[in-house]
């Protein structure tokens, strides 16, 4: 497990352009909606006396009115999503399965991103599986294109499973509501809720691990059936439960480091000069790079584990 973990970091960091490409993908996907929101903000306060306080800090008076009249994607603008507030909001949305409901204006962008990500991830797995294989954008795109259809089918399958997980989560929360009906201590409610959150997160992560190994199996073994690949992924996790879970656990712990740093380096929302503004955006992008690095390192570690466990056919020449 530790060998696979270090191999994962080695493989991911050995292909820094892949990390940058993944980061660029998020930038490119987010940029159009950011421009829309930026223009909306500019139109709203750009020629009013709120322009200065918004440049140097925040004007709650302006925001109250803006929020009241916001439409579509504008509704998701909230100053408390800046910095770690946004990360924690996304984390809770992921566990509760309401990230899509809560930010419906971004669903189209998200779907598009996921489809492009499906291309990228195929190329990334091939790169990590065969570090000495062909390099370059063309090689990644070619590999990604080869597996894209299978990954999309796998995504549809995993969507059904994730839907089931969230239905289960909501059912457990309803049961919990009944159990908490006569509880008078918030602390007990907090621990009960955190326990459900942890349970849901664990299930999500393990389901995800199954589908990660399914993707790896598709690439390494050139499997064509999404269903059989999913079965293979699940079997792999069942046959190597400690290693599969251990890798996820290690990465979960490692992820706490950049998150803590992000909290610690949290840029102030008071930005009298351009320096503060640049720093705020820079730290945010640094967080995204760290998150993506971890994501790809995990994938590299899982690929290494899959290969070291002797699953699948030997590497292609």
Partner 1 sequence: MESANQTARRWLAILFVASVTLPIATQPAAPVRSPRNANYTLFVELDPETKMLTATQRLEWRNIRTVATDELWFHLYWNGWRNNESTWMREDRLRGRSARKPGKIKEGDWSWITIDSVHLVNRDETKTDLASTQTYRTPDDDNAEDRTVWAVTLPDPVGPGETATVELTWRAKIPRTFARTGFRGDYFFIAHWFPKLGVFEGERGWNCHQFHAGTEFFSDYGVYDVTITTPSEYVVGATGRETETIDHGDGTTAHRFQQADVHGFAWTASPDYIEVRDRFEHPELPAVDIRLLIQPEKEHQTRRHLDATKAALEHYGLWYGAYPYGHVTVIDPAWGSGAGGMEYPTFFTCGSGIHRPFGGGSPEGVTIHEAGHQFWYGVVGNNEFEYAWLDEGLNTYSTNRTMQTVYGDSFRVRRFVTPPGGRGIFALAFPEIRQDPWMGRLNRYRDDATSDVPSTPTFRYHPRTGGSLSYSKTALWLRTLENHLGWESFRPIMATFYERYAFKHPTPEDFVRVANEVSGQDLDWFFDQVIDDSVAFDYAIDSISSKPLGLEGFVGDNGDPTFVDPKASGNEEETKKAWRTEVVVRRHGGGVFPVSIKLVFENEEESIHEWDGRGRWTLITEERESKLRYAVVDPEGVLALDIHPGNNSRLRETPTKKGSVKWAGMWMVWVQDLLSSWAFYL
| Of 73, 149, 157, 70, residue with least CA distance to 107 | 73
Site string for partner 1, 3-32 (x = CB under 8 A): -----------------------xx-xxx-
Q: Which is closer to partner 1, CB of 236 or CB of 262?
A: 262
Residue with tokens 């349970």: 199
Binding to partner 1, residues 267-286 (CB under 8 A): 268-271, 274, 277, 280-281, 284-285
User: 14, 72, 135, 174: which one contacts partner 1 (CB under 8 A)?
Assistant: 174
In the complex, minimum distance from the CB of residue 133 to partner 1, in angstroms, rounded to a whole number: 22
**CA gap 155, 149 in Å, rounded:** 10
Among 21, 51, 202, 203, binds partner 1 (CB under 8 A): 51
Decide if residue 159 touches partner 1 (CB under 8 A).
Answer: yes
Told to check if 296 binds partner 1 by CB under 8 A, we report no
C-alpha span between 103 and 70 (Å, rounded): 13
Among the listed residues 98, 140, 139, the one whose alpha carbon sits nearest the alpha carbon of residue 118: 140
Select from 59, 8, 21 the least CA-distant residue to 289: 21
3-state secondary structure of 263: helix
- What residues from 97 to 116 belong to the interface with partner 1 (CB under 8 A)? 99-100, 103, 106, 109-110, 113-114
Nearer to partner 1, 254 or 309 (CB): 254
Buried b (16+ CB within 10 A) or exposed e, 162-187: beebbeebeeeeeebeeeeeeeeeee
Q: Does 90 bind partner 1 (CB under 8 A)?
A: yes
H-helix segments, 46-183: 51-56, 60-69, 84-96, 99-102, 107-129, 137-179
Q: Does 136 bind partner 1 (CB under 8 A)?
A: no
Binder to partner 1 among 3, 17, 42, 239 (CB under 8 A)? 42
Question: What character string, x for contact with partner 1 (CB under 8 A) and - otherwise, covers 205-244?
Answer: ---x------------------------------------
The residue within the footprint of partner 1, chosen from 9, 128, 151, 213 (CB under 8 A), is: 151
Q: Determine whether 273 is exposed, middle or buried from the number of CB atoms within 10 Å of its CB (0-12, 13-18, 19+).
A: exposed
Q: Which of 18, 121, 248, 250 binds partner 1 (CB under 8 A)?
A: 121
Q: Could you say which of 1, 13, 21, 81 contacts partner 1 (CB under 8 A)? A: 81
Query: Could you tell me which residues come within 8 angstroms of residue 31 by beta carbon, excluding any fewer than 6 positions away?
Result: none
Instruction: State yes or no: residue 157 binds partner 1 (CB under 8 A).
Output: no
Rg (CA), the chain: 22
């Amino acid at each position: 497990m530790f060998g696979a973990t270090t191999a994962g970091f080695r493989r991911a960091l050995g292909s820094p352009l892949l990390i940058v490409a993944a980061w660029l993908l998020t930038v490119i996907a987010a940029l159009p909606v950011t421009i829309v929101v930026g223009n909306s903000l500019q139109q709203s306060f750009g020629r009013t006396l709120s322009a200065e306080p918004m440049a140097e800090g925040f004007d709650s008076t302006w925001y109250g009115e803006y929020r009241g009249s916001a439409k579509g994607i504008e509704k998701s603008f909230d100053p408390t999503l800046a910095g770690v507030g946004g990360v924690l909001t996304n984390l809770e949305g992921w566990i509760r399965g309401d990230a899509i409901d809560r930010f419906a204006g971004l669903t189209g962008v998200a779907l598009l991103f996921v489809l492009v990500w499906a291309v990228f991830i195929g190329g990334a797995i091939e790169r990590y599986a065969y570090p000495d294989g062909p390099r370059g954008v063309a090689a990644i795109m070619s590999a990604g294109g080869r597996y894209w259809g299978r990954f999309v089918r796998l995504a549809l399958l995993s969507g059904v499973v994730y839907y089931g997980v969230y239905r289960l989560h909501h059912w457990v929360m309803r049961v919990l509501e009944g159990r908490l009906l006569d509880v008078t201590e918030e602390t007990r409610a907090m621990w009960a809720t955190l326990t459900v959150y942890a349970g849901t997160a664990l299930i999500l992560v393990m389901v995800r691990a199954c589908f990660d190994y399914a993707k790896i199996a598709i690439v390494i073994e050139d499997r064509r059936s999404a269903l059989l690949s999913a079965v293979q992924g699940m079997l792999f996790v069942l046959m190597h439960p400690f290693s599969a879970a251990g890798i996820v656990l290690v990465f979960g712990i490692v992820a706490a480091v950049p998150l803590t740093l992000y909290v610690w380096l949290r840029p102030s929302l008071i930005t009298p000069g351009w320096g503060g503004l640049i720093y705020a955006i820079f730290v945010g992008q640094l967080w995204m790079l760290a998150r993506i690095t971890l994501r790809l390192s995990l994938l590299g570690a899982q690929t290494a584990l899959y290969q070291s466990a002797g699953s699948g056919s030997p590497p292609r020449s």
